[in-house]
Amino acid sequence: MGAIRHDILIAYWHIVHDDTVYRDLGPEWMRRRHNTEAQQKRLVAQLEKLGLKVTVEPEQPAA
């Protein structure tokens, strides 16, 4: 529930701050926004923006 409130607050901020019209992103937005691959891409981009080189490898199973 907290994540949904956060998303609404962020949407409100952009609408007010950027003086833009509300646009519904569609029913699939939440699924696309919160899937693992999209989250990984966002996190890598944030780290690269900080000047870090990022290599992502899958975790090796414990022996």
62: in domain: no
Q: Which domain holds residue 45?
A: 2-49
3-state secondary structure at position 36: helix
56: in domain: no
Mean pLDDT of 40-57: 94
pLDDT at 15 over 80: yes
61: in domain: no
pLDDT at 1 over 70: no
pLDDT at 45 over 90: yes
Terminal Cα distance for the chain, rounded: 38
30: in domain: yes
29: in domain: yes
- Among the residue ranges 1-5, 17-21, 31-35, 49-53, the one predicted with the least confidence is 1-5
63: in domain: no
Query: What is the number of domains present in the chain?
Result: 1
pLDDT the model gives residue 20:
83
